[in-house]
Amino acid sequence: AQSVAQPEDQVNVAEGNPLTVKCTYSVSGNPYLFWYVQYPNRGLQFLLKYITGDNLVKGSYGFEAEFNKSQTSFHLKKPSALVSDSALYFCAVREYTGGFKTIFGAGTRLFVKA
Amino acid sequence: DTAVSQTPKYLVTQMGNDKSIKCEQNLGHDTMYWYKQDSKKFLKIMFSYNNKELIINETVPNRFSPKSPDKAHLNLHINSLELGDSAVYFCASSQDTSASYEQYFGPGTRLTVT
């Protein structure tokens, strides 16, 4: 079965500093990887995805993610954090079990301090 | 215009009652989902429909019954509510069942069973 792991429950970063939210995956076959963000009392919003092609994927709000096949990682990054980036971030992988379903990681809470 | 909408936003009810949550998407997507997010923010798929047909049915108690009258609507009916059903329920949609498509989430329905 496919799975994703987010090793950090929480990441703290100062505004203006670069941020990284880590994700590792375990899949059989080609991975279909996603990042979503959840603000308080809201639904998840899609940030970016890796399907194929360039290992560096650019997404919404200045976020990017690097797909690393050898390390089975798909870390989310942003060069300069904003206080408004504070939210819950989910890494996800698509798994086929008679139909494609999304397996979400446990989530990483990002706190950006002014 | 809200892409994926859910009603109600909050639902407080007593054990043993029956309740329904409604979901509508105006994105023209073929595939819709129900997710449950527990108090630790863990997100798990419950059901997935494609063009009104059930394609994913996770290990969910029979008390939960989804219905899709058309591809723009997916409702969730819950019988004999239990305390453990308390959670936030999210509806989502994607263009179709392909692994490469991201999902669009509704704002969630916070169900509290007392």
Mean pLDDT of B12-39: 96
For residue B110, pLDDT beyond 70: yes
Q: How confident is the model at residue B34 (pLDDT cuts 50, 70, 90)?
A: very high
Nearest-CB residue to B107 (from A43, A100, A101): A43
What CATH number does the domain containing A56 carry? Answer: 2.60.40.10
> B1: pLDDT confidence band, cut at 50, 70 and 90?
low
Which structural domains are found in chain B, ordered by start? 4-113 (2.60.40.10)
**What integer pLDDT is reported at residue B6 of this predicted model?**
97
pLDDT value, residue B2: 72
Q: Touching check for A101 and chain B: CB below 8 Å?
A: yes
Mapping DSSP to helix (H, G, I), strand (E, B) and coil, where does residue A9 land?
coil
- Please say if the pLDDT value at position B38 is more than 80: yes
Q: Which residues of chain A have pLDDT under 50?
A: none
Minimum distance, in Å, between the CA of residue A17 and any CA atom of chain B = 27
* pLDDT beyond 80 at B14: yes
Which chain A residues have a beta carbon less than 8 Å from that of B100?
A: 32, 49, 51, 94
Give the CA radius of gyration of chain B: 13
Residue A60 CB neighbour total at 10 angstroms? 11
The predicted-structure confidence for B46-101, as pLDDT tens digits, reads as follows 999 999 899 888 878 999 999 999 999 999 999 999 999 999 999 999 999 888 89
Q: What percent of chain B has pLDDT over 90?
A: 88
Nearest-Cα distance to chain B for A27, in Å, is: 13
Domain interval for residue A64? 3-113
Total domains present in chain A: 1
The mean pLDDT of chain B is: 94
Note whether B102 contacts A42, CB cutoff 8 Å.
no
Nearest to A34 by CA among A2, A76, A96: A76
The CA distance from A47 to A57, in Å, is 10
Cα angle B96, B99, B104 (rounded to 5 degrees) comes to: 55
Separation of alpha carbons B79 and B88, rounded Å: 17
